[in-house]
Structure 1
């Protein structure tokens, strides 16, 4: 076939992941899956041979990348090297629903809906979750899902059409860009597989936060004027992007839980960004060009796209990469990679949100 799209759900070269999810929880995950798959789109039209080459290359590079990450970080040398799962957009949406359902069930195993009102609310939440995933499904390049997979032990996901689309938009070498993305996601896989307590800690923090969300929803309308003032004040005080809406909806206790999750997310993303660039020069000759062009792309988007990014917290996530990478670079320069790896000792050695901004404070607390 000379040209056309290979990204359809029936393409044999790209794995698809059926969602095996519980339908009795607070979100109707089957509705979320069908909504996301319907809305996500197929991705760029590319010649068949290019798509097949990208899929096979990503499979091979995903395992090779983790070997490079292990060498740099010193993590996970005794673990088996596994290929990632290469997906199309609907396959990723299906997989993301399954992973989210597994996380919610793990974090809040006793929570179940009952009655007609609850069922309707569950379906509405499913539609909303599916729409969010469809939006993200056109942008996500890869992901490590700590709770997905047949054995529930996690899986590395690479979204082939998005990787190919971004690589072409940036005009960078395909193999270099694929390796660069794989280095980032392989770092995430090692974070969760080489640090035995991290998955349970993450699930516990998510469960604690979600378990208190009902009061937030009930009180949100009463607090709307306060939220508007807070949004205006935060925007004018630092001149930067406004915070994600979810941050403004928190009570003080919830904000403390959210701060811990944000600090953890910032650490994980920044560490992965640092690693992909530190490994890069040896195995990705064009890493500096890729980083420069990719950073510009992260800031882009039209008015509607940027509004959605703010509401969903995507812009906050972009800032996480830079802040977490700066924390990692500072600690590695001062204490070496072994000194940095003290963050993985226990939940108590994770940096706080304040320490992410002031890594010297973390060094004093952990290393004395």
Structure 2
């Protein structure tokens, strides 16, 4: 069968056109791939299967045939071009009983060490060790919430390429354009999330509350890989990651407004991203519906138009400030809790700051795909503010600022941390009882509503 046979029968991994059973399975897979997304613009079922396939090496992300064989380039990640060598599966080792015990003990010890360094009580109700695949499935709901606004703009731009007067004439073919966008975005997003799942160290590793409320989770396989690169003992790296996870949990569990504030900042910025319709038109123009393997010519890169509008710049500033404040606080309390206990705490702290500031390859892939960087660019400045507040106001006075978003340090505080710390109202002496009551109230709210 020639290589240019429609539907890619001539490609490795394609079905045998003379085998009715294979053909029936193949057509069922195509129908699944181009099915209209339910409840949003992205084919999330496809995204999940591609992500899992990226980890495990299952053909086509869990499909019976290799999508890469049937439709070359469809499952390529953002930035991967046709002809590139496909990435080898990273694997998804099972979580062992030793892993579970080690993670549980590390998180217990981390919470104990953090106690004198934080006015916020423990936020951990459940301690778990996740495999890479479990991280993926447990965080997918939040990714859906964050990515759908961008995906809707891309898919909408594809639909807009069909003139309105022609849409009625196309009938079911009109819906195929939208389905193609949902499938294309889903496959590339799946690859990006699969890459992230192979790198993240915990549920809160990228500074967002991705997991269920109150669940502190570490990913032992990734921690082990990361520790080898640092040439540090596994137990030290695990404990440092546990300290960071436990600190994040204190914030997101006991600062009632923070979870919604951070996620809304991400959503607001994402919703304001503009899509370069000319770039979309050029990419989609290469697709021949009679030759689906041509989908390899479509790459979701370079389609985000710079937007210097005041609204979008303000949204970006709010997002960067929010991420920096969270990461800066975590860095400070973890460093103080571990300074006399972990021999390599200075090296670990600096390595993690660089890692968060630069972002790993997976984060960069994700940013290229959705136009959103989840990096706390002002991490050092924010950490300096929290350090200064600790020195001048103590732990209670510092953490009392989490009582209300209006009390939070801003970019002016970043410019002169000492001045901000000296002149800020000392809430450690005035009104901290109200802050503690707010923490208790949020705890009661959590009992009534676990998602609060």
Give the TM-score, by structure 2 length.
Answer: 0.58
Answer whether contact 1:247 1:255 (CA < 8 A) is retained: no
Q: What is the aligned partner in structure 2 of residue 97 from structure 1?
A: 140
Question: 3-state DSSP class of the match of 1:367?
Answer: coil
> CA, structure 1 residues 43+67, in 2 after alignment: closer, same or farther (shift >3 Å)?
farther
CA pair 192-254 structure 1, distance change in 2 beyond 3 A: same
Separation of aligned partners in 1, 2:43 and 2:265 = 22
CA distance in 1, matches of 2:375, 2:144: 22
- Which secondary structure state, in structure 2, belongs to the residue aligned with residue 85 of structure 1? strand
1:176 aligned onto 2:176:
no
Residue 127 of structure 2 corresponds to 84
2:411 pairs with 1:348 = no
- How far apart in 2 are the matches of 1:290 and 1:250? 37
Please state how far the C-alpha of 1:261 moved relative to its aligned partner.
Answer: 1.3
**CA deviation after TM superposition for structure 1 residue 259, in Å:** 0.9
Change (3 A) 1:127 1:359: farther
8 A Cα contact 2:192 2:362, kept in partner: no
Q: 1:30 aligned to 2:90? A: no
Does residue 127 (structure 1) correspond to residue 172 (structure 2)? The answer is no
Cα deviation for residue 197 of structure 1 reads 1.6
CA contact under 8 A between 1:60 and 1:83: conserved in structure 2?
no
Q: Distance in 1 between matches of 2:408 and 2:201?
A: 27
Partner of 2:101: 56
In structure 1, C-alpha distance between the alignment counterparts of 2:372 and 2:346, rounded to whole Å: 24
Secondary structure of the residue aligned to 2:203 is strand
Shift of 1:306: 10
Alpha-carbon spacing, 1:314–1:136, altered in 2? closer, same or farther (3 Å) = farther
Give the Å deviation of 1:141.
1.0
Question: 2: CA distance between counterparts of 1:200 and 1:301?
Answer: 23
Q: Which residue of 2 aligns with 1:3?
A: none
The structure with more radius of gyration: 2
Q: Deviations over 1:182-241 (max 9, x none)?
A: 11011111111111121222333334334333xx1147869xxxxxxxxxxxxxxxxxxx
Q: String of CA shifts for 1:281-336, please: whole Å, max 9, x gaps.
A: 3442432343355567778999x889758847998726444333233223222332
Gaps of 5+ in 1: 1-21, 107-111, 223-244
* Conservation of the 8 A alpha-carbon contact between 2:125 and 2:214: no
Aligned-pair RMSD on alpha carbons? 4.1
Query: What SS does the aligned partner of 1:140 have?
Result: coil
Query: Where do 1:268-347 residues align within 5 Å?
Result: 268-292=326-350, 308=365, 311=368, 317=375, 319-347=377-405
Partner of 1:261: 319
Contact kept, 8 Å, 1:332 with 1:340, in 2: the verdict is: yes
Q: For the residues of structure 1 that align with 2:279 and 2:329, how far apart are their CA atoms? A: 38
Q: How many residues align?
A: 311
**Aligned pair in 2 of structure 1 residues 62, 301: CA closer, same or farther (>3 Å)?**
closer
Alpha carbons of structure 1 residues 310 and 197: separation in structure 2 relative to 1, 3 Å = closer
Shift of 1:75: 0.3
Return the match for 2:227 from 167, 174, 184.
Answer: 167
Is the contact made by 1:89 and 1:159 (CA closer than 8 Å) also made in structure 2?
A: yes
* 1:237 corresponds to: none
- The structure carrying a bigger helix percent of its residues is 1
Q: Deviations over 1:39-94 (max 9, x none)?
A: 23575899x9x9653442012222332232233111026x6x43432112222222
Q: 1:156 to 1:118 in 2, by over 3 A?
A: farther
Which region of structure 1 is more displaced relative to structure 2, 184-193 or 65-74?
A: 65-74
Q: Which runs of 5+ in 2 are unaligned?
A: 1-36, 57-88, 150-154, 160-174, 281-302, 427-452
Tell me the secondary structure at the aligned position of residue 191 of structure 2. helix
* Offset of residue 33 of structure 1: 1.5
Secondary structure in 2 matching 1:25: coil
Take 2:354 and 2:317, find their aligned partners in 1: how far apart are those partners?
Answer: 27
2:113 alignment counterpart:
68
**Native 8 Å contact 1:271 1:328 kept in 2:** yes
C-alpha contact 1:84 1:155 (8 A) present in aligned 2 = yes
Query: Which runs of structure 2 are paired with 1:145-160 in the superposition (5 Å)?
Result: 146=209, 148-149=211-212, 153=213, 155-160=215-220
Cα drift, residue 253 of structure 1: 0.4
Q: How does 1:126-275 map to 2 (within 5 A)?
A: 126-144=186-204, 146=209, 148-149=211-212, 153=213, 155-213=215-273, 216-218=274-276, 248-249=306-307, 251-275=309-333
From the superposition, tell whether residues 202 and 364 of structure 1 become closer, same or farther in structure 2 (CA, over 3 Å).
Answer: same
> Structure 1 residue runs of 4+, over 6 Å off?
296-302, 304-307, 312-316
8 Å CA contact 2:252, 2:258 repeated in 1: yes
